Amino acid sequence: MAELVFFSGTMDCGKSTLALQMDHNHAARGRGGLIFTKHDRAGEAVLSSRLGLSTPALEVTDELDFWDVIVRRATHGRRVDYLICDETQFYTPLQVEQLARLVDEMGIDVYAFGITADFRTELFPGSRRMIELADRTEVLQVEALCWCGRRATHNARVVEGTMVVEGAQVVVGDTGAAREGVVEYEVLCRRHYMRRMTSHAARAAAISAEVLPFDLDVCPLPVRRDAEESERRGATPDRRK
């Protein structure tokens, strides 16, 4: 039975590496596959991973119709057993529906990889449709880490060094952004996302805390002492008995 599987995770969690590995595994078993991507950091029509591997891919434009592309290939006698779809968060909901149709009506396995939520913590439309339609959604086990060492669950957008939570949903880092300032992304744990504490802000806070004669309460951790104290207070009457 063909399947539509959505592998989700934050940036830096190894999605593209797994996509490449999956293509390799299926191709090695003699299956015919096609690789699609959109806005890969390495440029158009290439799927690249942070570990340095890359492979040619078909670039997905908003106008691309997966159904048409695959049916055309099939009628020309080209075998398509599976699709690797990277950066599916950038696909349109309609394209995700086309992928589901290919699974159901042509028996093609579709392995989709994408980020679920954007820098505002809102679901990308493509990812939302994927979660709604996929046979299964798997959260990738290779977990990205926040600068503090906790599991990174959120994608932060950093414009000219400052974290922002408003703006266009899709702004690809490192490309054509020179005029409007450098756009970068950083993965954070929810705690530091909510506090707008990027690694840069944390470093700056640490430095100013060293310079200034008093502690800056820039990023307070949960006050354990209070909890312990109230626990102790709660325990005192018992002892008196």
Active-site residues, by number, are: 87
SS3 assignment, position 16: helix
Closest contact distance (angstroms) between CB of 19 and Zn ion is 27
**For residue 63, is it left (φ>0), alpha (ψ between -120 and 50) or beta?**
alpha
With CB under 5 A, what is the number of residues at the site for Zn ion? 5
Select 79 or 151, whichever has its Cβ closest to Zn ion.
Answer: 151
DSSP characters over 31-72: --EEEEESS-TT-TTEEE-TTS-EEE-EEPPTT--HHHHHHH
Beta bridge partners of 223: none
Window of 20-28, 42-50, 149-157, 200-208 that interacts with Zn ion by CB under 5 A: 149-157
Burial status of residue 109 (CB atoms within 10 A of its CB: 0-12, 13-18, 19 or more): buried
189 binds Zn ion (CB under 5 A): yes
Interface pick for Zn ion out of 58, 83, 146, 201 (rule CB under 5 A): 146
SS3 assignment, position 76: coil
Select 47 or 197, whichever has its Cβ closest to Zn ion.
Answer: 197
148 binds Zn ion (CB under 5 A): yes
Select 74 or 165, whichever has its Cβ closest to Zn ion.
Answer: 165
Positions in 38-77 near Zn ion (CB under 5 A): none
156 binds Zn ion (CB under 5 A): no
Paired tokens of 161: 């060094």
Q: How far is CA 213 from CA 55, 218, 227, in A?
A: 54, 15, 28
Select 83 or 187, whichever has its Cβ closest to Zn ion.
Answer: 187
157 binds Zn ion (CB under 5 A): no
Binding site for Zn ion (CB under 5 A): 146, 148, 150, 189, 192
